[in-house]
Copies of this chain bind each other. A is one copy, B any other.
Amino acid sequence: MPLIEPARCQVDVAAGRMAGGTGAYRKRLADLAGLYLDETAFAALAALRGDEVVYEVGDFRPSENPGDMIFGLTRMSPGKVGEEYFLTRGHIHARADRPEVYYGQAGHGLMLMESPAGDTRIVEVGPQTICYVPPRWIHRSVNTGTEDFVMMFAYPADSGQDYDIIARSGGMKTRIFDDGAGGWVARDNADYRPRSAVEIAALMAA
């Protein structure tokens, strides 16, 4: 293997950006069609603000070699669709035995996690909270606050992402809503379809 050069990236927490990365992408509100329970509220909001960037990710990818690592910064805007908070599409790693570490730097939100068998775990993330997402957990972040939610992240370079796993089960089993009293509440997603025993076994054996 050739020697890889060291790198230095500078994070601007207030802007939610990392300088010195190798790539970046943005998701606009219109890109998130189908994720929210209240489709009427989504259509109304998307008609007004569909082009608005709701989250952006900048990363540094030195290589995809097994054993190497990718890291970066994610910024998510505050907001709701109906009473459901803005969230990321979510994913499981294509190599399901790969974990991810998130480190909150600004704002307040949740890491919503779901096991292959449909167990839910929720970790509240604020400034200086590190959330460890173990191998095999589907994960999505949710901005439950009123400011940008900014996290640094790191994961194995050969992890890959399977973004479709959530759509295949009709969404994650749990949705996160404003409780109307200054906090959040988790409610079951009525559209959720459990994964098959075969799919669960494959994810657990990966």
Contact = CB atoms under 8 A, between A and B. Distances in A.
A50 interface: no
B131 A8 contact: yes
Interface of A: 1, 3-13, 18, 60, 62, 65, 67-69, 71, 95, 97-101, 103, 105, 111, 113, 115, 121, 123-125, 128-137, 152, 154-156, 158, 204-205
Nearest to A156: B67
Nearest to A69: B99
A128 B204 contact: no
28 contacts: A1-B204, A3-B115, A3-B137, A4-B99, A4-B135, A6-B111, A7-B131, A8-B129, A8-B130, A8-B132, A9-B129, A10-B130, A11-B130, A12-B128, A62-B132, A62-B134, A65-B97, A67-B95, A67-B99, A67-B156, A68-B134, A69-B101, A69-B154, A71-B130, A71-B154, A105-B128, A152-B152, A156-B156
A121 B156 contact: no
User: How many copies of this protein are present in the complex?
Assistant: 2
B69 A156 contact: yes
A99 B61 CA distance: 12
Label chain A's interface by main secondary structure.
Answer: strand
Contacts of A9: 129-130, 132
Contacts of A123: 6-8
A154 B154 CA distance: 7
Nearest to A70: B101
A72 to B, nearest CB: 9
